Amino acid sequence: MNVWLRFRLIGVALVTGSSLLACSGADGRQDAPTTSSAAPRPSSSAQPAPTPTPTSGGLPSPTGAAPATPAPDTSTTPGPDGSAPVTGLGSLQPIWPFTTLGQAQAWQRDHRAGGHQPWHLDPEQTALSFTRGYLGFGEIDRVTSRSIGAARARVGVGLSGSEDSGTAAVVHLARYGTGRDAPWVVVGTDDTDFTLTRPVYGSVVRSPMTVGGRMSGVDESIRVQVRQPSSAAPLGESCCTPAGGHRQPWSSTVTFKGAKDAVLTVVAMTGGHIAEVERFTVTAVRTR
């Protein structure tokens, strides 16, 4: 092979290698939870979460309606069994069924001693019990989607019957406590076409309170309730605010009284086409 041809072949090899290097790279990685969609309705053989009795007791410093990317909590300590650390909530507020770490730990002691209320370890059952028991939306009894990680979960819930009814809300949950048996708590909802952005998640409020957000839909009617974990009945309610269109703003004013807990749940709902409640969104606010 002559010198010119050998030089030519070496040049081609160098150019080809550079091109391959330029096309390769490290993709950004995220922790991907185990996810499946359109989950079937829980079978009758599964242990259902009971309609809960509202919890009572003091509440920690709250936040509320589940921001998309909450700041992680870095103040973790080893669990008593030497396994998982304390699962911090960061900027998220434990809305239900436990609103303080002490309540979660008390349940853990009872569960370890006698298997008390094991549904607290199931994010799907916790989401359904929150919807049906605490909020009182009895027709919403089906899991429509799930995205469950080690410390965070998103569970879609929807109306019973045909899966065409879709998802009423995606409930955002987090592990709260120490060890492998840290229970799940609701911290808000992940919202898309029906949002509740006022009052701001975790803000201090007084009555009367202005509420609002954005709505996509046709001929909607929005009802708003203010709730607290220690009371079965709503503290206040406003009805009914007409809404519709594509991401159009909506606004209402609700008056409430009898607030004793440090954290209140504000829930906005709409329906009337095929059920009383077809979509809902929640946030948490502070009274002090």
CATH number of the 34-38+60-286 domain: 2.60.40.2550
**Cα–chain-centroid distance for residue 283?**
10
**Cα–chain-centroid distance for residue 176?**
13
Cα→Cα distances 20→11, 14, 28, 170, Å: 15, 10, 19, 43
Q: Are 96 and 186 in contact (CB under 8 A)?
A: yes
The domains of the chain are located at: 34-38+60-286
pTM summary value: 0.70
Q: What is the pLDDT of residue 219?
A: 87
Please count the other Cβ atoms lying within 10 Å of the Cβ belonging to residue 179: 19
Q: State both tokens at 153.
A: 């979960």
Q: Burial-class residue 42 by CB neighbours within 10 Å (0-12, 13-18, 19+).
A: middle
Give per-10-residue mean pLDDT for the chain (288 aa). 43 40 33 34 38 32 36 37 55 86 92 93 97 95 94 94 79 91 94 95 92 93 94 95 93 95 90 90 89
Q: What is the pLDDT of residue 162?
A: 58
Q: What is the pLDDT of residue 88?
A: 64
Q: Are 205 and 264 in contact (CB under 8 A)?
A: yes
265 vs 138: CA distance, rounded Å: 18
What stretches of 160-278 adopt beta strand conformation (E)?
169-175, 184-190, 209-227, 236-254, 263-270
In 3D space, the residue among 185, 166, 188 whose CA is nearest the CA of residue 279 turns out to be 166
Q: What is the pLDDT of residue 87?
A: 57
Contacts of 173 (CB under 8 A, 6+ apart): 123, 126, 127, 152, 153, 154, 155, 184, 185, 186, 187
Q: 3-state class of 277 per DSSP?
A: coil
Q: What is the pLDDT of residue 261?
A: 82
